Amino acid sequence: MQPIAPRGGTWSVGQGRRLVLGPRATIMGILNVTPDSFSDGGRYAGVEAAVAAALAMVAEGAEIIDIGGESTRPGATPVAPLEEQRRVLPVIEALAVQSDCLISVDTYREETARLAVEAGAHIVNDVWGAQKEPGIARVAAETGAGICLMHTGRERAKLPDVIDDQRLFLTESLRIAAAAGIAPEAIVLDPGFGFEKDGPENMLLLARFGEIMDLGFPLLVGTSRKRFVRGIIGRNDPEPDVATAATSVLMRERGADIFRVHNVAVNRDALAIADAMRAAAQGARW
């Protein structure tokens, strides 16, 4: 397959910061401050432990740390907004003091997003694509924060074709973002691997990933330790990080810019090879 050049460009992420995308893959480290996330629930319950984990990921090469206070795994029990904020806000505040990394808050709630940006977050990462609480788009517009709009198949009827459904859902998310006044350079999109998609759907989305490049925005992807990755390798490994890195490389070849992962080091090394091969093919020195 002929590699597809990533969208690239400059992502405006708030707090006066910008992130250059394109030449090299960007890694977003996952930090769940929850008791019940599918991979690392309960591991970073205290502020000190959470910040230490974030700093370790930054040292390994993560440019963004994505902090979530509510599990998004299928069947997870929702938490109250105040509990979500109790979990994430102290970690954001402490990390903002100790590191100049970019901080993302993984939330679909308008109030949590606003408080997180006030605490020092640069990015709002919404797994409902601004369609659960559309007011979250106003938060991004008013604060200048970057926003990631993710596709999901939850709580609605999907179109039969995975790419048609991507375009349908994400076009509506982009409409909400534009109506709120979010600048285009503040937006990235996420196809939402694993969110109400079975194994074959996920694989088809991966295989046809390049087809969503025509939406015109940089793409963030998150396959890390997902159920379909474990299914492909044929065993219930709770941390299939090598297999995750393989999907990261495949999606880099299909145009993805940002990779949301648990294991930063493994994905960093795999993506470095992919980027070096791209540079060599273009006649550039790495």
Exactly one of 225, 226, 230, 254 is catalytic; name it: 226
Burial per residue of 34-46, b for 16 or more beta-carbon CB atoms within 10 angstroms, e otherwise = beebbbbbeebee
CA 80 from centroid of its chain's CA atoms: 22
**260 is known as an active-site residue:** yes
Closest CA to 49 of 104, 87, 103, 106: 87
Cβ contact 260:222 at 8 Å: yes
Exactly one of 138, 260, 268, 278 is catalytic; name it: 260
- Which residues, 6 or more positions from 151, have their beta carbon under 8 angstroms from its beta carbon? 129, 165, 166, 169, 170, 173, 189, 190, 191, 192, 195
Q: Is residue 42 classed as helix, strand or coil in its secondary structure?
A: coil
Q: Is residue 38 classed as helix, strand or coil in its secondary structure?
A: coil
Q: Is residue 174 classed as helix, strand or coil in its secondary structure?
A: helix
Question: Degrees (nearest 5) of the Cα angle 213, 215, 216?
Answer: 80
**132 is known as an active-site residue:** no
Closest CA to 243 of 226, 219, 260: 226
Q: List residues with catalytic annotation.
A: 226, 260
